[in-house]
Structure 1
Amino acid sequence: MKTTCAAALAAAIFLVYPSISTAQKHAGAKQQASKKARRQEKPSKLAAQIEAVLSQPAVARAHWGIKVTSMDGRAIYSLNEGQLFQPASNTKIFTTATALALLGPQTTFTTKVIAKGTFSSPGRLAGDVVLVGAGDANLSGRSIPYVPPAMRPKVAPGQEPSPGPAALRYLEEMADQVAKTGLKVVNGDIVGDDTLYPWEPYPQDWAIDDTVWGYGAPISALTINDSQLTMTITPGSAPGVPASVMLDPIAPYYTVDMSALTTGPARSGNHLQIERSVGSKVLRVYGSIAVDSSPEEEEIAIQDPAEYAAAALKSMLEARGILVTGIARAKHRISSDDRGFLQASREAIPNMDWSRTYPPAAPASACTGNCGAVPERVLAQHISQPLIEDMVVTNKVSQNLHAEMFLHNVGAAVLGDGSTVNGARVVRAFLTSRAGVDPDDFVFFDGSGLSGHDLVAPRATVRLLQFASTQSWFADWKRTLPIGGEDGSLVARFGGSSMKDRVFAKTGTLSEARALSGYIDCASGRTVIFSIMVSAHTPGSSADRIAMDRIVELIGAAE
């Protein structure tokens, strides 16, 4: 009897415990299912919200690509992530990341003035004075480091802003150094030498009409004032009176044809055109500017930056009492590379050490002592600001020429030749071998994104952004990105939304393509990576930009 009771009790205990265990399992399973549902709910809700934005008639006909991940690469949302889009200035993300990783943030570039010839007496040179470009993008009046708009000095109403540093200040400083050497006569030419890069002023598929303007300035290892001049067009005193044109900085370079430029009646508006034929140094300005109009300013590209630099230096030396018997001219190096661009840019770089940084390449003409048949002597030099400070400028304001110079400088440093294709080859090798980007997910023909041949998949951009976040140089590089509502090309975006100061991203605009890629500090406190690209949007419309910004806000709120 006792045995039977004990057995029954044991059986009862046995029956109870399994039922408790099963209940716990069910509860645990429910909890896990709930967590999974919550994890799935966010992307589903976010997907529905994004779909609603993209279904609006103003943007529904455009082609969209989106990729969003966590910082560790976990997928959050995607749409056409593997399809190719024109990245426009999102290309600068790839160029600047490669340059920072391989050249290092503190790298500098040294521009030199060299006497190339013999001195018949201490002050008389039988030979040329050569200004040797070393890839410094900031021989200009630009203030560096970059200062966000909110931190710049305020200008009182009615007051004119104080003028910044002179555009040719560093060239003036080098001219002063030359004068202090005691040089009095140059029986030769003043030469602008940009042979660090082959003379390839325009990458493939840059639009012909872009070459007139500052944003399409030609690429040269000897770049003065961003290879551009400011043209100011001012109306005359009365309708019918010729208008005036001024170029700044003033140097003997362009001729301006104003024969068809006039002053129009009050309130007639401005109807101005500026043209320059390829290879020409004649600017034709025509049309009308209203008599009551404020002066109009345009940035005009310098057709041959090395020649312009030589002309400006010649004038400065003459102003300091130095007689120059020759002319101002450029020294270019013409490329003899007969490889096709796509084939050459895909060539592997054997024995590449991705863990090291590379010193900038020294121009062949920048040596001292007897460098061949003609003796050389350094008369003056200028050392650039650290590379990272120029990179902040480049990404904040989306400076095309500087991005191209980063591309050429990595080609020169790594491969010993600063050609466009060598720069693209280094970028491709870095992205595929080091950053883990799929080689079929991008094609770059330049460093700025101005080429219409450039193509990138959103997932390639996100992959690079995720890789960059794991690198020792990430903090330096992230601070180069525009901040929503705060500075750079995002200063006028997100300012009135919850995303102000929480979006760190590179913009991109080219014809009917637009892009925005970077990092979002979300409402939850987490940071996510995103890339949004659109092609074939309606010309002249900003609806795609408004939709893009709304999607960023939705991502920030959902995550």
Structure 2
Amino acid sequence: MYHLNIYPLRGWLLSLLASLILAHSVAYAKPANDTNNKTKDPQTTEATIAPELKHLPEKVVALIQKHKIPADELSILIQEVNTPKPLVEHEIDTPRNPASTMKLLTTWTALKELGPAWRWKTEVWTRGTVNNGVLQGDLILKGYGDPYLIYENFWQLMFDLRAKGLKDIQGNLIIDNSYFDVPEQLNQQFDKTPERVYNAIPSALMFNFQATRFLFSPNALTNKVEITTFPEGAIAKLDNQMMLREGRCTEENYNPVFVRQDAGAMLIRGDYATECGQQFIMRLMSSPSIHAAQAFRQFWQQLGGTISGTDQVGIAQSSDQLFYTYYSAPLIDQIRAINKWSNNVMTRQLLLTLGAKGIGVPGTTAKGSEVIKTYLNSVGINTQGLVIENGAGLSRDERLTARQMGQMLNLIWRDAYMPEFISSLPLLGEDGTLLKRFRHQALRGQAHLKTGTLNDVSALSGFLLTQTGKQLIVVIQHHGRHVSAGRAVQDALLEWAFNQ
């Protein structure tokens, strides 16, 4: 049997996280061409500029007219911090879909309400007696919403149980997800691709973003592509129809297609080039409770432990005994993972946590939304028109105005937690979802900005340092049929702001 390495290096995990989240962040977005400094501006004159555009920079107006973008599709706010009058404002009171820039509201509220050092816990309870390392009874795993219980961390939890002397479980494994109240569903039907990892639903005990890992390994000796899954029991039956091809690892030669079949079976077909080597692909295969239980069993057995009972969903009782508590990485580290790579399910975990801590258990999205609105109102931000569905921006219904975003960014700039929060945002041309933008221009490294991209939505919000040392707030929202040209408009606005 093929055995996976159960204690991967931290660097590998960060790389895995980056590739996983980067995959989800572009999976549902329309592609856009890089237009930095490649297109000459069409000629514009005062007479040809529509009245509603005359207050915008000339190059931006030229692009809007060239691509026939209706003026009412855009909201723009560019303002120096701590100053009352914006440099540019356009349609800033129109509620628009913010896409993933909505994550700024959720993560900032969490930072203020919970504090940067906040940690989630995962508890292990016993229902029965433990003698000489043998539990005569059930083991209960109770989650409290840790968004980052990935392979390394979950393995550490298992290792700590073994270090405390637990060897054999003569009973059932019970998963307790009662800290959150999430409607029962297989997964989100946001874009008719429920197996994609960005569609993962939250749960109080969430292992590795709910994603099953598929390891593709070309075998030249057998002329086949071997596929291994983790957890091992995630697929009832795997129909491997992958075709091994000679050649480079191009898009045509690396295109596995996943097809769900009846009774938990999965068909995987497509071409795979020998030069692709081993590759990992993540997909949602099972419910959160089953996924966590399968991972526990595989780790536990690899560490030499045994378990004789079945997997169940239940609730820890007052008569049970607390055996061990695992604590997560601090909130500020998790916010960096969320904002740098735009992780949806981590943000949703955060919203539910806000609801549970701020209003009461179980945490719900409605409670989390209320906590955010209450906080924003308390600091003087009018929340009229604000719609929060899941706090992550993976929504067709969420709405936010450029003024509301700008007011919050101005508030952040004056707050003691400002350095921690700004460091969580992608750095232009350097990392995260902005890694490939302005990599070879003077703007590289000059802005911390959160991106947001959906079909018919493109957004950008954050801070930009000008070449003269001014710190600017930038909010750009584009919502409509002409959003494919939004990248060019965004870049032109950033270039103009940098030169102020």
Normalising by structure 1, we get a TM-score of 0.72
Distance 1:488 1:436, change over 3 A: same
Partner of 1:533: 477
Pairing 1:447-462 to 2, within 5 Å after superposition: 447-462=391-406
In 1, the alpha carbon distance for the partners of 2:129 and 2:367 equals 36
Task: Give the superposition deviation at 1:59.
Answer: 5.0
**Alpha-carbon deviations, 1:446-486, whole Å to 9, x = none?**
12111111112211111111122222222211111111112
Task: Give the superposition deviation at 1:295.
Answer: 5.3
Question: Tell me, which stretches of 5 or more residues in structure 2 are unaligned?
Answer: 1-52
Give the conservation status (yes or no) of the 8 Å contact 2:187–2:200.
no
Partner of 2:259: 275
Give the conservation status (yes or no) of the 8 Å contact 2:60–2:489.
no
Partner of 2:492: 550
In 1, the alpha carbon distance for the partners of 2:444 and 2:336 equals 19
In 2, the alpha carbon distance for the partners of 1:454 and 1:117 equals 47
What is the DSSP-based 3-state SS (H/G/I as helix, E as strand, rest coil) of the residue aligned with 1:443?
coil
**Alpha-carbon deviations, 1:482-506, whole Å to 9, x = none?**
1111221112112222322211110
Select which of 423, 428, 431 maps to 2:368.
Answer: 423
**Alpha-carbon deviations, 1:357-381, whole Å to 9, x = none?**
xxxxxxxx4xxxxx53x33131x33
In 2, the alpha carbon distance for the partners of 1:63 and 1:423 equals 29
Partner of 2:236: 255
Distance 1:292 1:492, change over 3 A: closer
**Alpha-carbon deviations, 1:195-217, whole Å to 9, x = none?**
21113377997515343112222
State which drifts further: 96-105 or 64-73: 64-73
State which drifts further: 104-113 or 252-261: 252-261
Partner of 1:327: 310
Computing the radius of gyration from Cα coordinates, the structure with the larger value is: 1
What is the DSSP-based 3-state SS (H/G/I as helix, E as strand, rest coil) of the residue aligned with 1:528?
strand
Partner of 1:340: none
- Establish whether residue 498 from structure 1 lines up as the match of residue 432 from structure 2: no
- Establish whether residue 50 from structure 1 lines up as the match of residue 60 from structure 2: yes
What is the DSSP-based 3-state SS (H/G/I as helix, E as strand, rest coil) of the residue aligned with 1:97?
helix
Which amino acid is 2:299 matched to? Answer: M
Number of matched residues?
Answer: 443
Which amino acid is 2:369 matched to? Answer: A
Partner of 2:228: 246
**Alpha-carbon deviations, 1:131-184, whole Å to 9, x = none?**
2212222222xxxxxxxxxxxxxxxxxxxxxxxxxx2x3333332332344444
Give the conservation status (yes or no) of the 8 Å contact 1:191–1:307.
no
Give the conservation status (yes or no) of the 8 Å contact 2:57–2:496.
no
- Establish whether residue 516 from structure 1 lines up as the match of residue 465 from structure 2: no
Partner of 1:88: 99
In 2, the alpha carbon distance for the partners of 1:451 and 1:45 equals 31
- Establish whether residue 398 from structure 1 lines up as the match of residue 336 from structure 2: no
In 2, the alpha carbon distance for the partners of 1:74 and 1:212 equals 46
**Alpha-carbon deviations, 1:20-44, whole Å to 9, x = none?**
xxxxxxxxxxxxxxxxxxxxxxx96
Give the conservation status (yes or no) of the 8 Å contact 1:211–1:218.
no
Task: Give the superposition deviation at 1:53.
Answer: 2.5
Aligned-residue CA RMSD in angstroms? 3.0
Task: Give the superposition deviation at 1:531.
Answer: 0.6
Give the conservation status (yes or no) of the 8 Å contact 1:504–1:520.
yes
Give the conservation status (yes or no) of the 8 Å contact 1:170–1:382.
no
Partner of 1:361: none
Q: Alignment identity in percent?
A: 23
Partner of 2:74: 64
In 1, the alpha carbon distance for the partners of 2:379 and 2:267 equals 47
Question: Tell me, which stretches of 5 or more residues in structure 1 are unaligned?
Answer: 1-42, 141-166, 333-364, 366-370
Distance 1:231 1:123, change over 3 A: closer
Partner of 1:303: 286
Select which of 430, 436, 442 maps to 1:486.
Answer: 430
Give the conservation status (yes or no) of the 8 Å contact 1:89–1:508.
yes
Distance 1:238 1:375, change over 3 A: closer
Pairing 1:111-510 to 2, within 5 Å after superposition: 111-119=122-130, 121-140=131-150, 167=151, 169-200=152-183, 206-207=189-190, 209-234=192-217, 237=220, 243-247=225-229, 249-258=230-239, 260-263=241-244, 269-276=253-260, 281-290=264-273, 297-331=280-314, 365=316, 372=318, 374-378=319-323, 380-417=324-361, 418-431=363-376, 433-510=377-454
Give the conservation status (yes or no) of the 8 Å contact 1:203–1:420.
no
Select which of 88, 91, 116 maps to 1:77.
Answer: 88
Normalising by structure 2, we get a TM-score of 0.80
In 1, the alpha carbon distance for the partners of 2:166 and 2:487 equals 57
Distance 1:277 1:329, change over 3 A: farther
Task: Give the superposition deviation at 1:301.
Answer: 2.4
Give the conservation status (yes or no) of the 8 Å contact 1:114–1:377.
yes
Give the conservation status (yes or no) of the 8 Å contact 1:398–1:489.
yes
Task: Give the superposition deviation at 1:423.
Answer: 0.8
- Establish whether residue 100 from structure 1 lines up as the match of residue 111 from structure 2: yes
In 2, the alpha carbon distance for the partners of 1:292 and 1:481 equals 35
In 1, the alpha carbon distance for the partners of 2:166 and 2:455 equals 51
Which amino acid is 1:275 matched to? Answer: V
In 2, the alpha carbon distance for the partners of 1:203 and 1:270 equals 28
Give the conservation status (yes or no) of the 8 Å contact 1:202–1:219.
no
